[in-house]
A and B are shown apart, each in its own frame.
Chain A
Amino acid sequence: MAKIVTQDLNLWYGNFQALKSVNSSFEAQRITAIIGPSGCGKSTLLRVLNRMNDLTEGVRTEGKVLVDGSDILGAEADLVSLRKKVGMVFQRPNPFPLSIYENIAFGQRIHSGGIKKEDLDALVERCLKSILLWDELKDKLNKSAMSLSLEQKQRLCIARLIAVKPDVLLMDEPCSTLDPQATARIEELMHELKRDYTIIIVTHNMQQAARISDDTGFMLLGELVEFGKTKDIFMAPKDKRTEDYITGIYG
């Protein structure tokens, strides 16, 4: 079943139209990649899905975004529960300048008051295990998250997100600041996480999309040009523009 559906989604930054009637559908327990050249609107599309665009001034949207069947663009949408359900990992790792422990505990502290210390400890352990950093970090939980390496920071951001039990992970070029080895390890992690989450990743890197995703959408100038199984998009693109992009004629 489709976890997130967009219907005739248009978005403007002031007078500039960044998304042009985008129709898409993101399936649960799959990795969907959104590819396209810079400025094509792929990050914008991702940021609509948990309404992070609200932080930017002068944004106007039209159309529908359905998460589990309910429209999230309406004025009555509950942003807190939306963002709990649809979390985001950013391009630049952005752990809070707190301890490693507090970074992961953050979600629990803001969403449920009066949690027991043991429960929190267990949560931190479970989340760090799920991003495969527990063994490395278990003795440094009270150290500042700022002392970690870039890759560890990005992993920590994923752990921090998992701690609030989301259904969907939005990833905005999560590996663009990492070296190839670290990228490979994050991709491996995404593969692990796929079983429990719906993952949507925006990436600049076509090989990455081909490696990790099940579905792919290709965007150009605010339009979703083609959307389908990754295999099909890369092997037998239907649209000439997709084919040109994938074969490296532009982009």
Chain B
Amino acid sequence: MRKIKEFIIEKMILLCGLAAIFFVGLIFLFLLKEGLAVFKMVGPFDFLFGKSWYPISEPPKLGILPLIMGSLLVTLGAAIISIPIGVGCAVYIAEIAPGKTKEILKAGIELLAAIPSVVLGFIGMVTLVPLVKNLFHLPTGLTALSGSIMLAFMAMPTIVSIAEDALYSIPRNYKEGAFALGATHWQTIWRVLLPAASSGILAAVMLGIGRVIGETMAVMMITGNAAVLPQSILVPIRTLTATVAAEMGEAVVGSEHYFALFAIGIVLFIISFIINVTADLFLHKKQ
């Protein structure tokens, strides 16, 4: 009796595990089937590097280069802002902050991670967007810069908590060794601890960037949604994710537009996949 019970439970757990893989596979196949159909109408090269995205003109122009550049620009901006601040914060928490401050900071970072992206977008819209507009005397504050700043807030919790873990797990005797040679605290951090934690910190950065590139709601609200090739960081742009989210509802099922949006999904999938695999490689190198 007991054996039968064990057997049933075991198989049920196995089924749960298989279901997860099965659904991922299904989603991927569906994405491929719908997305690859667009290449019957437009060549892969024209799709990826075409400079115009006019999906409902006649005939439709389906070049996603402006969207790719928009995504990359916002992500790059967010990375430039969030990496130094995030890593600095991790160093402070792991190495410098006294007990109490450390706990408060860690709780704060977790809280930041818990803010829904639509709320961040909304706050950015009413505070940051007018600020950027006035500061740079722009016709609109809905720019790549605004998006980068808000997305930096989303990347930071990931970067801080994973980088802090990496720093925390460095053996204590590296630090003692450096101190015993007369190194100051900063010299120890800069020359020993950061290099020792470098693979973990790189993984943290990759995962933070992965979160930024997949983010949709906040960027849709504050980057202006103009599908043109960006000339600077102070103009409206549109990202891959925002395009799918904004247009999927109105695209006619089975139209070129519809397939093109799925193809954008494939591009996003590939980018995220590469980032996650890279981060994983760094994490494994650490161990």
**Chain A interfacial positions (CB closer than 8 Å to B):** 50, 52, 55, 79-84, 87-88, 90, 92, 94-98, 106-107, 109-111, 157, 160-161, 164
Do residues B183 and A110 form an inter-chain contact, with CB atoms below 8 A? yes
Q: Which residues of B contact A95 (CB under 8 A)?
A: 177
Do residues B174 and A109 form an inter-chain contact, with CB atoms below 8 A? no
Whose C-beta in chain A lies nearest to the C-beta of B180?
A: A88
- Check A106/B191 contact, CB under 8 A, given A96-B174, A96-B196, A97-B196: yes
Could you jot down 16 A-B contacts, CB within 8 Å?
A52-B176, A55-B176, A81-B182, A82-B182, A83-B180, A83-B181, A87-B182, A90-B176, A94-B171, A96-B178, A96-B196, A97-B174, A106-B191, A107-B181, A111-B182, A164-B181
Q: Which of B176, B181, B182, B195 is within 8 Å of A97, CB to CB?
A: B195
Q: Which residues of A contact B191 (CB under 8 A)?
A: 96, 106, 109-110
Q: Is B184 an interface residue (CB 8 A)?
A: yes
Whose C-beta in chain B lies nearest to the C-beta of A83?
A: B182
Q: Which of B171, B173, B178, B182 is within 8 Å of A84, CB to CB?
A: B182
One digit per residue, 1 when the CB lies within 8 angstroms of any chain A CB and 0 when it does not, for chain B 64-105 equals: 000000000000000000000000000000000000000000
Give the residue among B175, B176, B180 with the most A Cβ atoms within 10 A: B180
**Chain B interfacial positions (CB closer than 8 Å to A):** 171, 173-184, 187, 191-192, 195-196
Do residues A110 and B182 form an inter-chain contact, with CB atoms below 8 A? yes
Please classify the interface of chain A as helix (H, G, I), strand (E, B), loop, or mixed, using the class held by over half of its residues: helix
Q: Smallest Cβ distance from B24 to chain A, in angstroms? A: 36
Do residues A80 and B196 form an inter-chain contact, with CB atoms below 8 A? no
Whose C-beta in chain A lies nearest to the C-beta of B177?
A: A94
Q: How far, in angstroms, from A119 to B174 measured CA to CA in the complex?
A: 26
Q: Which residues of A contact B171 (CB under 8 A)?
A: 94
Do residues A110 and B176 form an inter-chain contact, with CB atoms below 8 A? no
- Check A94/B181 contact, CB under 8 A, given A106-B191, A109-B191, A110-B191: no
Q: Which residues of A contact B196 (CB under 8 A)?
A: 96-97
- Check A110/B177 contact, CB under 8 A, given A80-B182, A81-B182, A94-B171: no
Q: How far, in angstroms, from A50 to B175 measured CA to CA in the complex?
A: 15
Q: Smallest Cβ distance from B285 to chain A, in angstroms? A: 12
Do residues B173 and A90 form an inter-chain contact, with CB atoms below 8 A? yes
The 10 A-B pairs of least Cβ separation, nearest first, read A94-B173, A83-B182, A88-B180, A84-B182, A94-B177, A110-B187, A80-B182, A97-B196, A110-B183, A107-B181
Q: Which residues of B contact A98 (CB under 8 A)?
A: 192, 195
Q: Which residues of B contact A111 (CB under 8 A)?
A: 182
Q: Which residues of B contact A157 (CB under 8 A)?
A: 177
Do residues B179 and A160 form an inter-chain contact, with CB atoms below 8 A? no
Q: Which of B174, B175, B181, B195 is within 8 Å of A110, CB to CB?
A: B181
- Check A87/B180 contact, CB under 8 A, given A92-B173, A94-B173, A96-B174: yes
